[in-house]
Amino acid sequence: MHGAMVCTIRAGPEAGTRSIRARRTTDRTRTAFATGTPAPGAGGRLPVMSTVAAPALVRTALPFPDRREGKVRDCYRLPSHGDDAPRLLIVATDRISAFDVVLPTPIPGKGRLLTQCAVRWFEWLRPSGLVADHLLSTDPGDIEGLTDIDRSRLAGRIMIGRAAAVIPIECVVRGYLAGSGWSAYERTQAICGVALPRGLRTADRLPEPIFTPATKAAEGHDENIDFDTAASIAGRDVMERLRSISLAIYARAHAHAEARGVILADTKFEFGFALGPDGRPTDELLLIDEILTPDSSRYWPLESWAPGREQPSFDKQFVRNYLLALEAEGRWDRRPPGPGLPPEVVARTIERYEEAWRRLFG
């Protein structure tokens, strides 16, 4: 490993043998965090965490069933009590991925910053009444069966919430021309079936934000699709509702960020229907997972925005640039295992995450 202490949490005699593959249901839904109302602990703001003193958290092995491991997060089902709705635990580790490959070098403190950012955005959004969010608590003390050491290591990087049947569509909103949207525009002058004016440049602001859904891929890249295809998967009434909510959240978040010197170029949201005490989906629509973090959004500094070229961003840009240099030299081909990261890339990456936090909420 380059430039980081590494910590793995293990608890319980079976912790090392639990499955890490996500279980898929037959109705194309999966389980995720969701809650309709905040509970004690959900509103407490997380302090800015030190990214130097604490070792990186790479992986967890906690004494709870149904462990699932994503590129960044570990997820568990928590025991239910009485008539309570099903709950889940999500842990934001310090893993980092690029080009769909999880790299061997973690970014110490990244998981805490992502959790901190998501929680503040949920707090910010709640008064709008646009949609209920997923967060129940961020307090490790609300989880039975953990040691004091476990709770200390998990502090600042967890969310507890109700389970939900996830709508299998990524709800992407774009206000600027970038990423896969720019690639699609160069080919077709449209993104996900939405026609755009001629003559736009990369990083140009669009005439108005557009909703460009994508399928949720179990592995690899999500696939951009048009609205009719999304409606055939999730239902037209559902997708029209998700489009309206997603565009409204983006408009508010863009205005908040712009006033603080940050451009929210694009972002994605996930939604689901809360599970009731019987484990069945209810009619309650919920905003789930993380929202508006540097991992789920594209943020640019406003002062340096200049259409027609690539923009500096508040995310893992330094990691991508380093890997692209290795690829150009023939030293990596975007296949696992990924290369380790040098200390300067690790340091500059966490600095960008921290700057995004300071600008948006500092």
Question: What is the spatial distance between Cα 17 and Cα 9, in angstroms, rounded to a whole number?
Answer: 14
**pTM, two decimal places:** 0.85
169-304 classified as CATH 3.30.470.20: yes
Pairwise CA distance, residues 307 & 70, whole Å: 34
pLDDT higher at 154 or 218: 154
- Residue pair 107/7 in contact by the 8 Å Cβ criterion: no
CATH (one of 2.40.50.140, 3.30.70.2190, 3.40.50.720, 3.30.200.20) for 15-166: 3.30.200.20
Q: How far apart are CA 275 and CA 286, in angstroms?
A: 10
Residue 229 has pLDDT above 60, yes or no: yes
What pLDDT, on the 0 to 100 scale, is given for residue 311?
Answer: 95
User: Where are the chain's structural domains?
Assistant: 15-166, 169-304, 317-340+348-361
Query: Does the pLDDT at position 28 exceed 70?
Result: no
DSSP secondary structure letter of residue 66: S
Looking at residue 328, its amino acid is: A
- Check if the beta carbon of residue 360 is closer than 8 Å to that of residue 300: no
Q: Could you tell me which of 267, 33, 20, 278 has the C-alpha nearest to residue 166?
A: 33
pLDDT, tens digit, for every residue of 241-273? 999 999 999 999 999 999 999 999 999 999 999
Least confident of 30-34, 174-178, 254-258: 30-34
Residue 331 CA to residue 107 CA, distance in Å, equals 22
User: Do 258 and 252 touch, CB atoms closer than 8 A?
Assistant: no
